[in-house]
Amino acid sequence: MGHDIVESGEGEGGTAGPNRDEFERGSDMRFDLGFGPVCGQAARLVLAVLLGFFASAAHAQYDEEQPQQTLQQRLLQLPIVDLKGKVQEVGGNAMSINCEGQAFVLTVDSSYTRVVVNGEADRGYLKPGVMVRFEGEFDRKMQAKGSIGEIAVVTPSETSQPGIHADSGGEEEQPRQKTKSGAEVLMVIGTIKLIKDDQLQVIADGKPIKVQLDKDVEVKVEVDDFTLAEPGDEIVVRGRTVQPPQGQQAGQVFGEDVQITLANPLESATKAIKKKKSSKSKTAKPVKRTAR
């Protein structure tokens, strides 16, 4: 579809297009944009909109081609900063923190920032679908010998790879330890399939493993979800200074390594709701906590 200019006025050698003065005065120059002639001010408005649209599209295409490369290159040029303080507020992909009376806004990027959240959780946090890690004694048929006194809620990481391991971590697995009864001490990292009373079943290495939990089992937390943080939690940050604090204005930091220690145990949402009001919903999102 052509964008033809309907000529108006005369010049050397006969007819010619409109001159600059006519264009600026908003003459009756007309543009055929394929949907009828557009005149004067309207023509300039249409052209401005089209130019803005194509410029924005080109800019967006450039950003899509190399956004991460540009981000990392810029961050590596910024000065490193180490901070230690308390969480003030969490929202979106950022956190406000206070370090010795100075406020900072910390940006967390899932593709760049390494986050570790440590703490404890209520037993009700153990639900089907949650990944856990525990150590126990097992015979050759993977039957557990004794109950589990400590279990951790985890997310996959370098130190928490799903599976059945011979030890509690490290770059290289050590030979499997054996007890006097011949049982092996194993580290199991898998997803909860079923939990009922003190009976727990997880899937690790494609195998169902059943264990019994102590009645007072201790539930630890070692995850990468910074949104679990709440005001008052301790935080240690190594990052890049985007903008240093200026007077009352908060500094801006892009996080590289973020470690958060929860002040209060995590609690299952269903249990928290039942304390206030019974609910018909059986869906649980274990993200709430109560002070102890």
Q: What is the pLDDT of residues 87-128, one digit of tens each?
A: 999 999 999 999 999 999 999 998 899 999 999 999 999 999
Neighbours of 37 (CB within 10 A): 14
Cα dist from 122 to 150, 161, 218, 247, whole Å: 12, 24, 9, 41
Render pLDDT for 229-258 as a digit per residue (tens, 0 to 9).
Answer: 999 999 999 999 999 998 889 999 999 999
Contact assessment for residue 209 and residue 201, using Cβ atoms and an 8 Å cutoff: yes
Using the predicted structure, report yes or no on whether residue 134 has a pLDDT greater than 90: yes
d(CA 98, CA 232): 10
At 156, is the pLDDT very low, low, confident or very high (cuts 50, 70, 90)? confident
Render pLDDT for 201-221 as a digit per residue (tens, 0 to 9).
Answer: 999 999 999 999 999 999 999
Q: What is the mean pLDDT of residues 15-31?
A: 43
100 versus 170: the higher-pLDDT residue is 100
Q: Give me the chain's average pLDDT, please.
A: 76
Annotate 5-16 with b (16+ C-beta within 10 A) or e (fewer). eeeeeeeeeeee
Q: What pLDDT score does 211 carry?
A: 96
Q: What pLDDT score does 128 carry?
A: 95
Using the predicted structure, report yes or no on whether residue 29 has a pLDDT greater than 50: no
Render pLDDT for 251-277 as a digit per residue (tens, 0 to 9).
Answer: 999 999 999 999 999 987 544 333 334
